[in-house]
Each structure stands twice: as C-alpha cells, then as structure tokens.
Amino acid sequence: MSTAAAAVPKPPPTFADRLKAAVVTPVRAMRWRYVPLLMVYFSYGVYATLIATALSFWIRQSLTLTPAELAAIAVWISLPWTIKMVFGQFVDCIPILGSRRKAYVYIGAALLAGGLLMLAGAAGKWLTFASPEALYVMASIAMTIGVVLQDVVADTMSTEVVDRVDAAGKPRPEEEVRADLAMVQVLGRLALLFGLFATSGLGGYLASAMPYEHVFLLALIVPVLSVSGVVLVKLDVGERAPIDWRVLGGGLAFGAVVVALGVLKVPFGQEIVFVISMAVVCTLLVMVTADLDRDTRLQILFATIVIFAFRATPTTGEGMRWFQIDVLKFDEAFFGALAQLSSTFAILGMWLLSATIARKPIAWTMFWLTVIYTIMSFPNLALYYGVHAWTERTLGFGAHTIALIDTAAESPFAQLSMIPLLTLIAIYAPPGKRATWFALMASLLNLALTAGTMQTKYLNQHFHVGRGQYDELGGLLITVIVLNFVVPVAAIVLFGGRIAKGKG
C-alpha cells in the first residue's frame, strides 16, 4: 500500500503555483550581505530617473547642441564604461587606506556629487568659468566615472557574496552555486528597477514644478544612498591578487590614447578609439580566460557575440523626444508618468519572468526579445505619421494613450536581456581576478552600446532632424526599426546554435 502510494506521481504545478514561486523566490533569496551591492544598483536607478526629465528639457531649452552633436558627445561620455578593466584592476589589487571596496564606493560618490553640482551651477548660471555646454560635458564625464567605479565594486561583490563552500568547509554543489549567482544577478536588476520606480514619476513632477537647478541639487541624495550599504554592512572581501600589468598598463595606455584623440580632435577619432577599444578588450579577455577550457571559452564567445549584436543597435537619438515635445505636446509631467509606468512594468517583468529567462537558452531569449522590441517600435512610427489623429476621432484616444500603452507593453523586457550573460560571467569569474573579469566583459558589452551610439550619430547626420525640423524623422525611424531587427537575428542565426555546445 505504501509502495503504491509512493509511486503516485506528483501533479504538475498549476499556474498559481508557478506564479507564487516566481513571486516568492527573489524574497527567499535575499541576504543581509547583499545589501551593499544592491544599494549601489538602487542608487543608480534613482540617479537615472530623478534627473533624466529635467536634464533632457534643460538641454533642449538652454543648450545649442543638435541631436547629431549630442550623439557624438554621448560616444565620448560612454568611454569610461569601455575601460572598466582599469577600474577592475584597482579594485582587485590596489587598496586605498586599507580598503578595496568601501574606498572606491566613496570616491565614486564624490565624483557623482561633483557632477551634479556642476549641472546645478550651469542651470542656475552661478558657475561661469566655462560655457553651459562645456559644463554639461564635464559634469557628464565626472558622473559617468563615478557610476562606473561604483558599478565595478558592485559587480565584484555580486560574485563574492555567494559561498562556494558550506559551513563544514566542503565545496557546495555546482548547481546550487550557479542558482545563487543567477539570483544575485536578478536581485541586482530588481534593485536597479526599484530605484527607477522610486523616482521616475517624481523626476517628471519635479522638473515641471521647480527650476532644473533645484532638481539637480535634490539629486545629491543619490551619492548618500550609494554609500549607505557599505556603511551599514561589513564586507567580506575576496583575496587580493597581484597587479596584472598587461591589463592595467594596456588599459591606462588606451585611456591616454583616448584623451589625446579627444583633445587633438583627430578626424575619425571616435572610430579609431572604438577599433582600438575592441582590440584591447578582446586581447585582454583572451589573456584572462586562458585558464578556462576551450569549450567554455567558446560558449562565452558565442553568447557574447549574440548579446553584443542585440545591444549594438542604434536609436533615433533626441529627435523623437523633441518631436513628442513640440508636436505631440508631451510635457515634463507626462514624461515622468511614462517613466513611472515603465519602471512599474519593468519590475513586474523582472520579478515574474527572470527565473524563466535564467533557465532558457540565450539564443531563445534574445530572439524573442528582438521580436518584441521590433513590434513595440511601431507605435512611435505610427505617432509620427499621425495615426493618433485617426484614433482620437474614431476610438476616442490619442497620442498620450498610445504612448502609455506602448510603454507598458515594452517595459517588462527592458532588463531581461542581460541576465543570461551576467550569470555566465559570474559562474566563471576567477578567484582574485573577479573585478577585472567582470569589468572586461562589461567593457565589451558597453562597447556594443558605443557602437549603437555611433550608428545613432551617423543616422542623425544623414537624416537631418532638429528643433522644429522633423521632415526626415520618419525615414530615421524606419531605418532604426530595420537595423534593430536584422542585426540581432543575423547573429542569432549564425551563432545561437553554438552557445550550448560551446564548439566552433
């Protein structure tokens, strides 16, 4: 009787069971020692949305930069992300006042605060030692370096907080370690999204209710939030590694070349920097992964190519936002509402879908995300061609409602693309080199964003879009939609099937 009873198979989980598991799993995975890295991610989310609307409207109203010029500036501002390996070497190998974690979080916070003060001074016209455009560039660079430095520390801690051995000192099963590492990445994305959620709507409201200068000053709460975790929690820092002069020297030499090209205004300087960046980062990655077996290296290579192609796609730049402001009459408060809606649905998507995404093949995930993003691009195209006028006459809703629906549908998938590769990176992070390893991979993926930004610049130079000049915006939108579908799908077709096999 008992044998027969034991042989009865368990019923398959119901939808309610799966939903409950998806909701409860991140809560159960939370640990107190995760707080420092999660606060860094949370503060970055707050920073990204609290000043975004005010900054966008201030740039449009007070600066003389065109969308093409802004895209070109964005390429230079993104460069600190491409030399994360230098910061990774510092965090791995060089303590400051005996600290290889806290000190760098504090330095990052100081740079972020300095950048915010420069923005406030430019907006309030009480900093006059440089033009508002120059102050904007300097502030952006300072804030970017501060965020990158803190991000390197948080990424490193995300591999250190998971125990590789149990209480008895015995190695834990590899499946458990992988699951914990994946969940730390999920919690990190959730912390970022909660930061976005906390201030996205508030950022739009503040931009409409007070001078932009005051919004930038209020954002000084962000550096305080970013250091709160390391103040409250004692960090267990991994072993210190000797300086790898190939990585540090190569990274510093690259940084010097970048500065020289920027200062001297060498023709095609951004393109030269991009090519050198790819060569340096790929060479250093080959060195750092030399100890991994061939199949593992190929698995990481093919996964990286697919995600690189997904991220290396252009956007329309500022032209579409300016069209929404000038023609569709979207104001600061409405942009804040869009951001609030976006962050809300992004949290729901990450919370409910992350476990599924972590288990699915990378090629499967990237293909469906590409399809979804392509479909979600059409509402903006429809708005440009005036579909909202027809819907308002016949269906009773116009541009604002279409934008809200589009944002709600697209947002749940915004952060999901990074989970598979972040998990793969965390699994194979070598002891003593975790910051360098994570930073190198992040540098490569940020180079993909740089490639996308450069394409945005080229497209904005070809399609002339500016304040009040939107005749060519339709062609720009169509080109972006086509590229954003064709490039990732081509990479998936060519390399997606090889990821799981890890064979060339």
> What CATH number does residue 139 fall under?
1.20.1250.20
Task: State residue 213's pLDDT score.
Answer: 94
Task: State residue 4's pLDDT score.
Answer: 47
Give the closest residue to 58 by CA, choosing from 116, 130, 129.
Answer: 116
**Model confidence at 480, in pLDDT bands (50, 70, 90)?**
very high
DSSP helix/strand/coil, 99: strand
Give the closest residue to 488 by CA, choosing from 307, 280, 273, 317.
Answer: 307
What is the mean predicted confidence (pLDDT) over 354-358? 65
The share of the chain scoring above pLDDT 90, in percent, equals 15
Query: Which residues sit opposite 96 in a β-bridge?
Result: 99
What is the mean predicted confidence (pLDDT) over 116-138? 93
Q: Are 239 and 95 in contact (CB under 8 A)?
A: no
Residues 77-123: pLDDT tens digits? 877 877 777 787 788 777 887 777 788 889 999 999 999 999 999 99
Confirm whether 244 is domain-assigned. Answer: yes
Confirm whether 40 is domain-assigned. Answer: yes
Q: Which residues contact 265 (CB under 8 A, 6 or more apart)?
A: none
Task: State residue 396's pLDDT score.
Answer: 78
**Model confidence at 498, in pLDDT bands (50, 70, 90)?**
confident
Sign of CA dihedral 366, 368, 371, 377: negative
**Model confidence at 2, in pLDDT bands (50, 70, 90)?**
very low
Confirm whether 187 is domain-assigned. Answer: yes
Bigger pLDDT: 459 vs 287:
459
Count of beta carbons in the 10 Å neighbourhood of residue 178: 16
Residues 275-290: pLDDT tens digits? 888 887 788 778 777 7
Q: Are 143 and 116 in contact (CB under 8 A)?
A: yes
Q: Both tokens of residue 355?
A: 């476990």
Confirm whether 13 is domain-assigned. Answer: no
Q: Could you give the residue ranges of the DSSP H alpha helices within 360-433?
A: 362-384, 387-394, 399-410, 419-427
**Model confidence at 234, in pLDDT bands (50, 70, 90)?**
low
Rounded (10°) CA dihedral 243, 248, 249, 252: -150
Residues 189-232: pLDDT tens digits? 888 888 888 887 888 889 888 999 999 999 999 999 988 877 77
Give the closest residue to 404 by CA, choosing from 336, 466, 357.
Answer: 336
**Model confidence at 341, in pLDDT bands (50, 70, 90)?**
confident
**Model confidence at 411, in pLDDT bands (50, 70, 90)?**
low
Domains identified in the chain, total number: 1
Confirm whether 7 is domain-assigned. Answer: no
Give the closest residue to 37 by CA, choosing from 147, 155, 143, 182.
Answer: 155
Task: Please tell me the distance from the alpha carbon of residue 55 to that of residue 52, in angstroms, as a whole number.
Answer: 5
What value does the mean pLDDT of the chain take? Answer: 80
Confirm whether 315 is domain-assigned. Answer: yes
What is the mean predicted confidence (pLDDT) over 135-139? 94
Task: Please tell me the distance from the alpha carbon of residue 233 to that of residue 219, in angstroms, as a whole number.
Answer: 24
The whole-model pTM stands at 0.71
Angle of helix 35-50 relative to helix 221-232, nearest 10 degrees, comes to 180
Count of beta carbons in the 10 Å neighbourhood of residue 309: 22
Confirm whether 18 is domain-assigned. Answer: no
Q: Are 124 and 211 in contact (CB under 8 A)?
A: yes
Residues 317-332: pLDDT tens digits? 888 888 888 888 888 7
Confirm whether 380 is domain-assigned. Answer: yes
Which of 132-141, 166-175, 377-386, 424-433 is most confident? Answer: 132-141
Task: State residue 80's pLDDT score.
Answer: 82
**Model confidence at 168, in pLDDT bands (50, 70, 90)?**
confident
Q: What is the residue range of 299's domain?
A: 23-498
Task: State residue 1's pLDDT score.
Answer: 46
